[in-house]
Amino acid sequence: MSNQTFRPDKLKETCSEPLVFTGLGAITPLGLDVPTYWANLLQGKSGVGTITRFDASLLPVQIAAEVPDFKPEEYFDNHILKGSTLFIQFALAAAIQALDQSALPLATYAERIGVVFASAMGGVGPISAAGQQYFRSKTKKISPHFVPSVITNMGAAQAAIHFGLKGPSLTVQTACSAGGDAILTAAMLLEANFCDAVLVLGGESIVCDVAISSLAQAKALSRNNADPAAASKPFDAKRDGFVIGEGGGALVLEKLSLAKSRGAKPLALLAGYANTMDAYHITAPDPNGLGAARCMQKALDVANISPDAIGYINAHGTATLLGDIAETKAVKQVFGAKCPCISSTKGATGHMMGAGGITEVLTCILSIQDGVLPPTINYSEPDPACDLDYIPNEARAFKIDYAMSNALGFGGQNSTIIVRAF
């Protein structure tokens, strides 16, 4: 066994070369492409409404941020339509956008392109529906497409099949930190030289009775059924829980040498990344935010920057009572008296879970590119326990070089990603 001491401050020394983002894709409650999503986000629009996917009238929570007007048949052939469900279809549609923007020659580099897929709950909705169908059925038969359409790794598998990608494939299911952890995992694959580029994608669709009932009984969800657009209130004193969101996100991450060799335009650099555990509780965060603080600090160490380099934080900010306070405490521990401005885009999109960790990093990249920071909407009454600058209600013009994204999940999972202007 090695006698060498582990040094977090030396992590960056393992990096062989810079890693850059060259493609972005988003399927969200605010729009079916990146420009539409970004424009609606900056305008302070809400994607939350009354549930339309099924009759939720008997549930205590009847609201969600559904993806509107998504027609999978416009994106995919019958093979994918039969062998996948919404959480995979959202991710694949976002991946089409990201790969188109990156212009990565897929056939040329097929064996050196990896896939990392993220989802918190995979096919929970179709699993619930199939169970109900089975117990009502006299024949007790379920479609042969059922299992491959709901197991989470099929997001990566379908991406590989659809795009002809033959490099390494991994699936990350670390609850609501899965999107950030997928980017970290992609970076590790690239650092280990297992591949030269990675398609990182995530998908989520849990707008179903079983998931909503369980989360409602756990008192995790907002019950503001009367005013859906105002239901998600991150950091506000009257917040009463998160709103379920759905959608897909995708990023192309590649070695800078590959991007240069093919004349690609890098959109941003991946500067830092980290993952930690609270080791505290299965659903509640550490009340002092210790695990999240360690995660942010480790990401800063990997990036080899001081806290004051960060110009903006896209917070996890789900609008739960305990979670928003814990994250605020964590930010204060790391940044002290000079906390950067911070916002939660979940006021607009709801909590997109595994997909959200990716779209929120995408949001950081766009903030750096455009010099505009998205607002925390529905913020009207300050909470004394949440006393930072949350960019309330209106986007802010602000030039930054570094942005940080936090994604925190059940079980005490913490993920932090830092991106930098190229």
**DSSP E strands: which ranges in 256-334?**
268-277, 310-314
Amino acid at 187: A
* DSSP designation for 23: E
CA distance linking residue 207 with residue 309, whole number of Å? 38
Amino acid at 324: D
Q: What residues contact 183, with CB distance under 8 A and at least 6 apart? A: 116, 200, 251, 253, 270, 273, 357, 358, 361, 417
| Token representation of residue 383 | 């909470």
The angle at the Cα of 11, spanning 10 to 13, to the nearest 5 degrees, equals 70
CA distance linking residue 73 with residue 181, whole number of Å? 30
Closest CA to 265 of 19, 100, 22: 22
Q: What residues contact 97, with CB distance under 8 A and at least 6 apart? A: 23, 24, 25, 26, 33, 34, 250
- Tell me the catalytic residues: 176, 316, 351
CA distance linking residue 334 with residue 85, whole number of Å? 40
**DSSP E strands: which ranges in 309-371?**
310-314, 341-343
Secondary structure class of 352 (helix, strand, coil): coil
Q: What residues contact 368, with CB distance under 8 A and at least 6 apart? A: 268, 400, 401, 402, 403, 419, 420, 421
CA distance linking residue 364 with residue 370, whole number of Å? 10
- The 3-state secondary structure of 55-113 reads CCCCCCCCEEECCCCCCHHHCCCHHHHHHCCHHHHHHHHHHHHHHHHHCCCHHHHHHHE
